[in-house]
Amino acid sequence: MKVKGRKIYIFDTTLRDGEQSPGCSLTPVEKLEVAEQLERLNVDIIEAGFPAASPGEVEAIKKLSRRVKKPVICALARCIRKDIDFVREALKYTKRPRCHVFLATSKIHREFKLRKPKEELVQIASEHVAYAKKYFFDVEFSPEDAARTEYDFLIQVVRAAIDAGATTINIPDTVGYAIPSEFGELIRQLVESIPEFNPENPKVNLSVHCHNDLGLAVANSVAAVKNGANQVECTVNGIGERAGNASMEEIVMIIDTRADFMDCYTDINLAEITKSSQAVSRLTGMLVQANKAIVGKNAFAHESGIHQDGVLKKRITYEIIDPARIGLKGSNIVLGKHSGRHAFRERLTKLGYQLSDAQVDHAFAHFKQIADQKKDVYDEDLHAIVADELARAAQMWHLVSFEAAVHAGGTAKATVTLRKSGKNFSASATGDGPVDASCRAVEKITKCEGRIRKFSIQAITAGKDAMGEATVTVRAKGLEVTGRGSSTDIIEASIKAYLYAMNRILAMTAKPRRQQLSQV
């Protein structure tokens, strides 16, 4: 059996750091909805908020921690006793509470924000971890801006926090400044210097918390895990301050997909990833970019014909993750101008059509024409294409081309070319508008005059480039029949519908072949 390696704890801060994204504030009810989804996702720790922010935040965390029982519920405090007291109040109904205290340690923050010397900061950190420890067994300490803190001073603060009772030390790259090899090396050195972090048997958890200012939050977190960190702080969809936090779904899927390299695992319920992403996006109003790894709309979409052919033959040719594992229905084969015949035929089969090779060839050519005019070709378009194809196959006449022009005063002139038994026939006619003129030209060629009794046109797909479907009821030779045709051009759709109706009339009134032969 494959050894799973070390367990990596997933500390989700969507409801604290994520909620700090501009415009992302959640109501208590929305916070609860996210927390319940995070529980289904099986995160180990939920950072539910910063109670000192407002009385409403305290109430929201209280409410949430009464309902969400499985994960550890954590709340944040500055190194201020009052902040820690707010955490006590907010977490008082929590089964497994954690108090998270932080203090900035980098030179920049010491000099410009806190204006305090190093020794005093070590003392403040130690005193407040000890204060939190009086009320909580589980205390996390974060030296804010650790990635820009001098290494010797960082060790000093971390040591003091552990001695004061911290059970988790979190190393934040607060401003997303670190480079993966550098951040990995920092974690390696911390593991080497602090025996409590021993990855084989950790007495104190070593956590990382990376921001994405240079787009490296996930890479830095992964480098840290590789070098001995056993907790990763992250958010769903990577939301958070400025460019965001490390994305939960990316970290979890890296650990899962590259278990061979990472040698560790998480307890995340992968099948809940998509739902979690959608819930957070819906509730925060932060849209997920289409090409976002794992949860973007295009993450499992294939448009190129070569890729579609590969995926349909064997999914793993172009997909390293089975979309079903993260709660998606399957890969998304997007039909567009780059798509190939294999994907086209496959989709027709899924839609229930069994066409001959020749019919598929013809329908595929029609599909390519449409794909050149539209960005995406939807199933409704395909139904229309097949309807046209089936009509064409059953028809005597089919449309090759047309030209229609409207003149001043409303009369129009149209020239239509139809094909029958491998030969083209053209005719021109005038009429009240381009559709009427085209239908008159069709009548000249087919030598069958008809009267349109009903005519309607409707869009069958969305957007400016929508497909239109025309429906006509035609009376000719004592019969009344209906015809349908579709195209992105409504005149073309109308001619096809009219021609379809005419063909049906001609077929119904044609003499049986046997009789024709006997007359010869």
For residue 175, the tally of other CB atoms under 10 A from its CB is 19
Give, as ranges, the residues between 50 and 79 that touch ligand KIV (CB under 6 A): none
Interface mask toward Zn ion for 15-34; x: CB under 5 A: --x-----------------
Tell me which residue has its CB nearest to Zn ion: 17
User: Which CB, 102 or 183, lies closer to ligand KIV?
Assistant: 102
CA atoms within 13 A on the CB side of 181: 0
Q: Which of 148, 209, 413, 440 binds ligand KIV (CB under 6 A)?
A: 209
CB of 339 to ligand KIV, least distance (A): 44
For residue 483, give the nearest of 297, 475, 491 by alpha carbon. Answer: 475
Amino acid in position 64: L
The answer to whether 458 and 469 have CB atoms below 8 angstroms apart is yes
> What's the CA gap between 12 and 233, in Å, rounded?
6
Crossing angle, helix 217-226 and helix 180-193, to 10 degrees? 30
Binding partner selected for residue 276 from ligand KIV, Zn ion, none, CB under the kind-specific 5 to 8 Å limit: none
Under the criterion CB under 5 A, does residue 233 sit at the interface with Zn ion?
no
β pairing state of 231-234 and 264-265: unpaired
CA distance 511 to 31: 74
Residues 6+ apart with CB under 8 A from 148: 106, 107, 108, 174, 175, 177
C-beta closer to Zn ion: residue 77 or 414: 77
The verdict on 47 binding ligand KIV (CB under 6 A) reads no
Binding map of ligand KIV across residues 81-120, x = CB under 6 A, - = no contact: ---------------------x------------------
* Residue 172 binds to ligand KIV (criterion: CB under 6 A): yes
Residue 144: contacted member of ligand KIV, Zn ion, none (CB under 5 to 8 Å, by partner type): ligand KIV
Which residue of 21, 142, 274, 446 would you call a contact of ligand KIV, by CB under 6 A?
142
Nearer CB in complex with ligand KIV: 63/100: 100
Tokens of 221: 């977190």
Residue 91 structure tokens: 């977490």
The CB-of-172 to ligand KIV minimum distance in angstroms stands at 3
Which partner from the list ligand KIV, Zn ion, none does 126 bind, CB cut-off 5 to 8 Å by kind? Answer: none
Scanning 167-175, 292-300, 344-352, 373-381 for contacts with ligand KIV by CB under 6 A, the matching segment is 167-175
Residue 142 binding result from ligand KIV, Zn ion, none, given CB thresholds of 5 to 8 Å by partner type: ligand KIV
Closest CA to 148 of 211, 228, 90, 67: 211
Which range of residues in 56-64, 124-132, 166-174, 398-406 is near ligand KIV by CB under 6 A? 166-174
Distance between CA atoms of residues 332 and 209, nearest Å: 33
CB atoms < 10 A from the CB of 138, how many? 18
Distance CA 225, CA 235 (A): 17
Q: What angle do CA 168, 169, 175 make, to 5 degrees?
A: 135
The least CB distance from residue 23 to Zn ion, in Å, is 17
The two tokens of residue 168 are 């988790």
Question: Per rule CB under 5 A, is residue 309 in the interface with Zn ion?
Answer: no
Member of 17, 39, 309, 388 binding ligand KIV (CB under 6 A): 17
* 367 binding partner (options Zn ion, ligand KIV, none; Cβ < 5 to 8 Å by kind): none
Residue 293's closest CA among 330, 252, 334?
Answer: 252
Strand-pair partners of 403: 415
Hey, what amino acid is at 79?
C
Q: Which of 105, 174, 220, 284 binds ligand KIV (CB under 6 A)?
A: 174
Closer to ligand KIV by CB, 174 or 486: give it.
174
Nearest 10 degrees: CA dihedral of 103, 104, 106, 109?
A: -150
Q: In whole angstroms, how close is the CB of 170 to ligand KIV at the nearest point?
A: 6
- Determine contact, residues 97/138, Cβ cutoff 8 Å: yes
Report in angstroms how near the CB of residue 75 gets to ligand KIV at its nearest: 11
CA distances from 397 to 377, 437, 472, 501, 515 (A): 27, 18, 17, 11, 22
Distance CA 485, CA 468 (A): 8
- Provide, rounded to whole angstroms, the least separation between the CB of residue 174 and ligand KIV: 3
Nearest-approach distance from CB 205 to ligand KIV, in angstroms: 14
Question: Nearer to ligand KIV by C-beta: 158 or 441?
Answer: 158
What's the CA gap between 61 and 63, in Å, rounded? 5
* Least Cβ distance, residue 195 to ligand KIV (angstroms): 24
- The stretch near ligand KIV (CB under 6 A) out of 170-178, 311-319, 344-352, 453-461 is 170-178
Name the residues that contact Zn ion, by CB under 5 A. 17
- In the complex, which residues of this chain contact ligand KIV (CB under 6 A)? 17, 102, 142, 144, 170, 172, 174, 209, 211
